Copies of this chain bind each other. A is one copy, B any other.
């Protein structure tokens, strides 16, 4: 295909890719509609009715650009978190913020530390800026804090990514260990503490806001995509010092936020009762997934997130066969980790009972078919 001849050498070296194949693309590829969308860690429980109302009421305002300062949302978040609006940067989901953070710090060839099998979209952004990924294997299905710290020091890395709770394994570290990690890092290393799943974590998993908010080398990322049920609205935020937060203003797409999404996020934040209710439903759904896994001879891993990693006890080919069987024969969309040894697991997002019923019925059929085949 004929492309412009003078893209930068870095761009020319990059593949055209997508960090995750979307469920719609899978539907098109397989020629089959998805019956249970429990693969992208979205929330099938959806947002609160008050959020849907806010969306419908804001529709008539969508001819206006959103406020490029995101003033109201930053005020609301600051009130909710007990911090200042100056500590908060808003972006098009955590994915968008991760791209910006990598751009702020990484020049071609610089080392970036993350876990082997950690969030692919972060790795995508690192590659996109020419960074050199330095990966540290998980230990016992958790990110290896000591290993990450050693890699940072060995490489003099300017950037390290750490998710707590973790995706794709659902594991977590207690707040005191996370705090130790953050404070042990050199001041010349920026920590991305990705807390996309913070709302579903057990008590004492999240360091307090104040414990890290004065550290210019720590950015915590959070989102309305998971427990708040607003993945399609694209609203995430970064928590850090005012000085570090201001760096986003140097490069972000100031008019990049959509006005309805901002209104939806504001309404979601205002309805903490619904959040509590949905976190309970997510917890029950995790239990249900775990039960289904055990009934099929699998080992569900403990989870602090809105999904469960299920150890199928064999190799990646087996996991892949289950993922494909569920989709191709039953329209059940799930995913799996991308690298060994994590990819002995499949990853199932929590969701309403209807989706869980489909999974419960389909999984034994898929496994039976696989056993018969081989």
Contact = CB atoms under 8 A, between A and B. Distances in A.
A22 interface: yes
Copies of this chain, tallied across the complex: 2
A255 B95 contact: yes
Given A63-B46, A64-B42, A2 B243 contact: yes
Interface in A239-278: 241-244, 246-247, 249-251, 253-261, 264
Interface string A61-83: 11111111101000000000000
A224 to B, nearest CB: 10
A211 interface: no
Q: Contact size class for A? A: 35 or more
Chain A binding surface SS class: loop
Interface in A24-50: 24-25, 28, 37, 40, 42-47
Nearest to A128: B251
Contact of A18 (B28, B59, B69): B69
Contact of A250 (B68, B128, B229, B250): B128
A28 B75 CA distance: 13
Interface of A: 1-8, 11, 14-20, 22-25, 28, 37, 40, 42-47, 52, 55-56, 59-69, 71, 92-93, 95-96, 99, 103-107, 121, 128, 158, 187-190, 214, 216-217, 225, 229-234, 241-244, 246-247, 249-251, 253-261, 264
25 contacts: A1-B242, A2-B242, A3-B241, A3-B247, A4-B216, A6-B158, A8-B106, A11-B104, A11-B250, A16-B247, A16-B249, A18-B69, A20-B254, A22-B69, A42-B63, A43-B63, A46-B63, A47-B62, A63-B231, A63-B232, A65-B225, A65-B232, A233-B259, A234-B258, A258-B261
